[in-house]
Amino acid sequence: MKKVLKNGFLAFSFSVLFATAPLALASDGGNAHGGGHGGASQPETTASETMKAVIEGNDTFKMHHDSHYFDAFQDSQIPVLTVVTCSDSRVHTNLFGFVPDNNIFMVRNIGNQVVNSQGSVDYGIRHLPTKVLLILGHSGCGAIKAAMGDYSGESSGIKKELDPLKPVIAQDDGAGEFKERWVKNIERNVDYQVDYSMKLYEEKISHGDVVIVGAVYDFNDIYGQGRGSLIITNINGEKSPNMIMQHPVLKDLSRGPVVTHVSSRAQ
């Protein structure tokens, strides 16, 4: 990863940088389980208010970035990171701590599933210079919660995207409280997606061209490291926290951050 990080980039790490949400479009809403289907405290925003925020927000961005800002990626893109994450609005691109423009190839779908966006993931890994494929789940994932129950009443499109989660949910023996089972299934899904990706990109992994990292963005503090933490749960199929901590991809981090950013609830 020799690309020069420009435009006020912070060095790549697994720490979290929060961006200030504009206007009233961001909220701490959500139900008691942290579900992914909106919440009662979400402010009511009209379509016109939303578009006003979009246009004014873009104009503000443009005002603070002159034409030369776009020179580096006007004709091509050279991201350092391919991410497969959930369509959930609470999982924001800036959580990685550096400017996303031309640096993060972001792929989203409900449940952060590789199979549902395989063409996009293939492009990020086979045609772009990304060395890390990050499978990013998140606490309070509504897709996992839905897959754990009866979603037969959902639209055909949603059912089609939830169906590939069945092998993940099949690992759940149904014992214990729902909340803990939900947490474990979120992590199991990350593991499943890592395993699936390892089969797709086996040759690139064996040659050291790509590392597949599984993680959970934890804004509910289910891992006890504080809300907004990024927790690594899997690297190239290794799920033992002690073994993950020793992986070369984390060698540039000091021991403290490694310990606080590696954990497991499913093991």
Domain range enclosing 162? 47-260
Are the C-beta atoms of residues 186 and 137 closer than 8 Å to each other?
yes
pLDDT at 37: 47
Separation in Å, CA 252 to CA 12, 163, 215, 222, 256 = 10, 39, 18, 26, 12
Are the C-beta atoms of residues 13 and 253 closer than 8 Å to each other?
yes
CA distance 96 to 107: 15
Residue 36, in any domain of the structure: no
In one-letter notation, the amino acid at residue 135 is I
pTM: 0.85
Domains in the chain, number: 1
Instruction: Note the Cα 183 to chain centre separation in Å.
Output: 15
Residue 16, in any domain of the structure: no
pLDDT at 203: 97
pLDDT at 43: 75
pLDDT at 267: 79
Residues of the chain with pLDDT under 70: 1-42
Are the C-beta atoms of residues 142 and 221 closer than 8 Å to each other?
no
Question: Phi and psi of 108, rounded to 5°?
Answer: -125, 140
Instruction: Write the CATH number for 191.
Output: 3.40.1050.10
